[in-house]
Structure 1
Amino acid sequence: MRLATFTHQGLRGCGVVSGDAVLPFPGGTVLLDVIRTGDLPATGEPLPLAGVRLLPPVEPPSVRDHVTFEEHVEGVRKSVDGRGGVPDAWYDAPTFYFSNPYALIGAHDDVPVPPGCRAFDFELEVAAVIGKKGADLSPEQARDHIYGYTIFNDWSARDLQSREMQVGLGPCKGKDTATTLGPWLVTADELEPYRDADGFLRLTLSVSVNGEEVGRDLLSNMAWTFEELAAYASRGARIRPGDVLGSGTCGNGGCLAELWGRNGRQDPPPLQVGDVVEMTVEGIGTIRNTVVPGTSPLPLPKARIRPQENPR
C-alpha cells in the first residue's frame, strides 16, 4: 500500500494512492495517527494525483540519517576533508546524525540554495519510517517496528559542511535547509518480495540532473539492514511512530561529493539554480525537485577572544 499526504484546493489531507489517483481519508485525518494506531480509515472519492501537491508523507518526531554505504564514505571523506580511505570506526556500527525534522519538503517542491552555499549537492537515500515505539530492540524485534519506506534526499551544502565539521561535532548548517521525503510511504509488506537471503532490500536506485543520469546503485549494497539501523537507534533510547531512519547515501554516484572525491575536482559541477534533480527507487517511486535561489546569509561576528576572568 502507498500512503500519501497532500494538499488539494487549499486543504490538507492524506489517503491511499491507487494508480494515478489518491483515495482520501476523512477530513482531519493525519497519516502519523494512522501509523500510530494501525487503523486504516475508510476512503472517499478518488482525486487525480495530477491535481494535488504531494507533501512529505509524515511530520516525523525525529530524523536520524545513518551512513551505511562504504563507497560513499570513501569518496565523500576525500572530498570533504581531503583524507582517503574509510575510518576504522565506521565498521563498528551504523553511525547516524540527527537531521532537521522541520526542513522537510515534498516530492516536487522547489529546493532553495542554502544561505552562503557555493557547492550544493543532493544525496540519494531510502528511509524507513517507524510504526511503533520500542527501546533496546534486537534486529529481529525491530522488523515489526518498521511501518514502511520512502525516498529520502539529504540536500547538502558541501562547502559549509566541510568547514563546520572541522569543529568535530558533525554537520549542522551544511544539512539544515531542506530534505525531500516522498513521494509517498510504501508499507513494508509491499517491499518484502525484494528482500534477499541476507535480509537486504534489493532495490535499484538512480539519480539524474537535468535528465542525465549521474548515479545508480542497489539498496542491498548497504552494510547494515534497516532492522539493524532501527535496533542501533533504539539502543539506550526510544524510537517512536513516525521516526525517520535514513539509509545514508548510496554509492556509485549517489551524490556529487563522492564523485568529486574520486575525480579530484568538482566534476560534475555543484548544483546551480534551475537544475532539476530526479530520483527513482524501484518499488517506491520518483521524486523531482528544482533548485531555486535561496536567501543571503545575515552577517554574524566571528568568535570574540576575550580575556579570561576568574569568578569571585
Structure 2
Amino acid sequence: MRFATWEAGGHVQAGVLSAAGLHAIPDGRSVLELVRAGLPAALEAGNAALEGPAVPVESVRLLPPLDAPTVRDFVAFEEHVEGVVKSVGDGAGVVPEWYEAPTFYFTNPYALVGAHDDVAVPPGSQMLDFELEVAVVVGRDGASLTPEQAREHVFGYTVFNDWSARDLQRREMKVNLGPAKGKDSATTLGPWLVTADELEPYRDDDGFLALDLRVAVNGREIGQDLLSNMGWPFEDLISYASRGTWVRAGDVLGSGTCGNGGCLAELWGRHRAAAPPPLQPGDVVEMTVEGIGTIRNRVVPGLDLPPVAPARPRPRARTRTP
C-alpha cells in the first residue's frame, strides 16, 4: 500500500494511492499516526479509505508522506564516499573506519519538502547539489535491536533527496564537526510511503533491495545505481541506530547517496572539476526509484542574507578585570 499526505484548498489530508487517485483516510488520522498504530491497523485504515472517492494526484500539492519526528542520514555507499572525499573531504580516500560500522548524522526534520515543491538555494551558497537516496521508515519502537529484529520494525520506504550546499559543507567539515548548515536547508521525501511488503519481490539473495535508482537534471540523466550496492542493508542501519538507545515509529533513516553519479560532488571529485556544474535557479532535479516513484523539484533563488560574522579575537583571561 502507498500512503501519502497532500494539501488542497488549504486543507491537509492523509490517505492512500490507487490507480484512480488519492483516497483520504476517513477518520482524518495523519500518516505518522497510522505508522504509530502499526502496519495491520494502517492497512485496515487504508483499505477503508479505498472505498471512498478519489482525487486526481495532479490536482493537489504532495507534502512529505509523514511528519517525521527525527531524520538520520547514513553514508552507506562506498562508491559515493570514494568520489566525495576527493571533492568535499581531504582527498585521502575511504577511511578504514567507514568499513567498521555504518555512520550517520541527524538532519533537520523541519526542512522536509514535498515531491514537487520548489527548493531554494541556501543563503550564501554557490554550490548546491542533490543526493539520490532511499529512506526507510521505522514502524515500531525498539532499542538495541538485532538486524533480524529490525526487519520486523520496517514500515516502508520513500525516495529521499538530501540537498547539500557543498561550499558550506566543505568549510564545516574542516572543523571536524557536522555537517550542519551545508545540509539542513531542504530534504525531499516522497512521493509516497510504500509499505515494505510491496518491495519484497526486489530482495536479492544477500537480503538487499535491488531497486534501480536514477537522477536527471533538466531531463539529462546524471546518475544511475542499484540500491543493493549499499554496504549494509536497511535492517543493519536500523539496528545500529538503535544500539544503546531507541528508535521510534515514524523515524526516517536515509540510505546515504548512491554511487555512479548519485550526486554532483562525487563526479566533481572524480573529474577534478565542477562538471556537471552546481545547480542553479531554474534547474529541475528528477529522481526515480523503482517500485517507489518519482520526485521532481525545481531550484529557485534563496534568501539574500548578510554574511556570517567571524569569531571575535578573545584574550584567554581566567579572571575578570575590574
Amino acid at match of 1:15: G
Q: What CA distance in whole angstroms lies between the structure 1 residues aligned with 2:287 and 2:274?
A: 21
Q: What CA distance in whole angstroms lies between the structure 1 residues aligned with 2:92 and 2:315?
A: 39
2:222 corresponds to? 214
Q: What CA distance in whole angstroms lies between the structure 2 residues aligned with 1:148 and 1:29?
A: 18
Does 1:307 find its partner at 2:284? no
Q: Secondary structure at the match of 1:274?
A: coil
Shift in Å, 1:85: 1.5
Shift in Å, 1:307: 1.1
The 5-angstrom pairing of residues 236-251 of structure 1 reads 236-251=244-259
Q: What CA distance in whole angstroms lies between the structure 1 residues aligned with 2:68 and 2:12?
A: 17
Residue among 79, 97, 101 paired with 1:89: 97
Shift in Å, 1:84: 3.4
Residues 19-44 of structure 1: CA distance to partner in whole angstroms, max 9, x if unpaired?
25011112531111101112232313
Deviates most, 135-144 or 10-19: 10-19
Residue among 201, 223, 238 paired with 1:230: 238
Identity of aligned residues (%): 65
Residues 264-289 of structure 1: CA distance to partner in whole angstroms, max 9, x if unpaired?
00000000100000000000000000
Q: What CA distance in whole angstroms lies between the structure 2 residues aligned with 1:187 and 1:124?
A: 20
1:59 corresponds to? 67
1:7 corresponds to? 7
Q: What CA distance in whole angstroms lies between the structure 2 residues aligned with 1:270 and 1:133?
A: 39
Using structure 1 for the length normalisation, give the TM-score. Answer: 0.98
Shift in Å, 1:50: 1.1
Does 1:163 find its partner at 2:171? yes
Residue among 141, 154, 165 paired with 1:146: 154
Does 1:103 find its partner at 2:111? yes
CA pair 252-20 structure 1, distance change in 2 beyond 3 A: farther
Q: Secondary structure at the match of 2:182?
A: helix
Residues 154-186 of structure 1: CA distance to partner in whole angstroms, max 9, x if unpaired?
000000000111010120000010000000000
Q: Secondary structure at the match of 1:35?
A: helix
Residues 190-211 of structure 1: CA distance to partner in whole angstroms, max 9, x if unpaired?
0000001111000000000000
- Judge conservation of contact 2:133–2:255 (CA < 8 Å) in 1: yes
- Judge conservation of contact 1:13–1:27 (CA < 8 Å) in 2: no
Shift in Å, 1:260: 0.2
Does 1:253 find its partner at 2:257? no
Residues 129-156 of structure 1: CA distance to partner in whole angstroms, max 9, x if unpaired?
0011000000000001110000000000
Shift in Å, 1:304: 1.1
2:183 corresponds to? 175
Amino acid at match of 1:30: S
Number of residue-to-residue matches in the alignment: 312
Q: Secondary structure at the match of 1:117?
A: coil
Show structure 1 runs of 5+ residues with no match. Answer: none
Deviates most, 299-308 or 272-281: 299-308
Q: What CA distance in whole angstroms lies between the structure 2 residues aligned with 1:13 and 1:132?
A: 23
2:286 corresponds to? 278
- Judge conservation of contact 2:124–2:307 (CA < 8 Å) in 1: no
Deviates most, 37-46 or 245-254: 37-46
Does 1:196 find its partner at 2:204? yes
Residue among 99, 122, 125 paired with 1:117: 125
Q: What CA distance in whole angstroms lies between the structure 1 residues aligned with 2:319 and 2:213?
A: 58
Show structure 2 runs of 5+ residues with no match. Answer: none
Q: What CA distance in whole angstroms lies between the structure 1 residues aligned with 2:159 and 2:284?
A: 16
- Judge conservation of contact 1:207–1:254 (CA < 8 Å) in 2: yes
Residues 36-91 of structure 1: CA distance to partner in whole angstroms, max 9, x if unpaired?
11223231311111111100011111100000100100100000124132011100
Q: Secondary structure at the match of 1:107?
A: coil
Q: What CA distance in whole angstroms lies between the structure 2 residues aligned with 1:271 and 1:300?
A: 23
CA-based RMSD: 1.0
